[in-house]
Structure 1
Amino acid sequence: MGMNIKSEKAQRLARQLAEATGQSMTAAVEQALEAELTRLKTNDDYAIRKARIKEILRRSGPTPAGATSDHSDLYDDDGLPA
């Protein structure tokens, strides 16, 4: 299978990447493409997890009045458990 990239910019970037990494242009482009696909998948996975968490929070209902994350009453003045 062959690929012929006609973009001068793409060829210049591939050459720069190959020189910077000490790889052939083909290896440098393969590695860059694999890294980008991994990055996209990771971002997609993150977006899916974030959406699931938001849905769970939405279904759990509103935060009760007076609810707080202040737990200072559980600790003394030195920050030790009371």
Structure 2
Amino acid sequence: MTDSETPGVPQARVEDQLRALQLIQGHRASRAVGVAARPGLADVLAEGPKNCAELARATGTHPDHARLLLVEPVCRTRTDPPRG
């Protein structure tokens, strides 16, 4: 058995599951960008650093939603495997 194999699960199935996970993560990332673009988040951030409450007020969103829009890209960057 190789390091990439899971006991009792064929390698092809593991690869299929990983591909499905990559597709789901890609969809989440693209949705986060689309949602962030709608309230003008980039325009507000171009004015200078803001905390989540300030972003929420400036974009008319809920503070928790503003936080999620900021956290999603950071989490995505930290969990992506290196490309090369």
What TM-score do you get using the length of structure 1 for normalisation?
0.43
Return the structure number with greater relative CO, CA threshold 8 A, min gap 6. Answer: 2
Largest Rg, 1 or 2: 1
Judging by fraction of residues, say which structure has more helix: 2
